[in-house]
């Protein structure tokens, strides 16, 4: 495993911790390792119950990654309405969705032929 891949894996685990800290649900990790030409190593996707919950999860992910690695996201999209927030950490892109927004965009189905791991919800 290359250094870049290993760092992306660590970042993914830290993002999952940030999501679980705020009780984000239905976490799915999409692994782009064998996708030729992919710009990413991983997508991390989760569901929140309300716009304020989207915001809280986003803050938690950002804080956990900053504490552990010192990294800031390259960009953050969607904070205006908190229906779908995207945090771009170059090799790892994190999507925090409201349930109906996640169902509408159905990112998992777009990548159905790519390895996906579902993380059990933390109560």
Residue 6 to residue 94: CA distance in whole angstroms: 17
Q: Which domain holds residue 99?
A: 3-119
- At 122 the pLDDT is 85
Question: Residue 26 maps to which CATH number?
Answer: 3.30.460.10
pLDDT in tens, 23-49: 999 999 999 998 998 999 999 999 999
Q: Tell me the whole-structure pTM to 2 decimals.
A: 0.95
- At 1 the pLDDT is 65
- Residue 63 pLDDT level (bands cut at 50, 70, 90): very high
- At 86 the pLDDT is 97
* Average pLDDT rounded to a whole number, residues 61-75: 96
- Residue 69 pLDDT level (bands cut at 50, 70, 90): very high
- At 99 the pLDDT is 95
Residue 122 falls in which region: left (phi positive, over 0), alpha (psi -120 to 50) or beta = beta
Residue 98 to residue 36: CA distance in whole angstroms: 30
**Counting beta carbons within 10 angstroms of the beta carbon of residue 76, is it exposed (0 to 12), middle (13 to 18) or buried (19 or more)?**
middle
- At 93 the pLDDT is 97
Domain count, the chain: 1
């Amino acid at each position: 495993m290359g250094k870049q891949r290993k760092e992306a894996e660590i970042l993914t685990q830290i993002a999952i911790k940030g999501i679980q800290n705020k009780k984000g649900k239905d976490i799915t990790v999409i692994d782009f390792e064998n996708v030729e030409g992919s710009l990413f190593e991983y997508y991390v996707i989760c569901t929140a119950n309300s716009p304020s919950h989207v915001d809280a999860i986003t803050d938690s992910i950002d804080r956990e990654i900053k504490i552990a690695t010192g990294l800031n996201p390259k960009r953050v999209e969607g904070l205006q309405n908190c229906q779908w927030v995207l945090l771009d950490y170059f090799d790892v892109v994190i999507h925090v969705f409201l349930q109906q927004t996640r169902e509408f965009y159905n990112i998992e189905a777009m990548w159905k032929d790519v390895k996906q791991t579902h993380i059990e919800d933390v109560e």
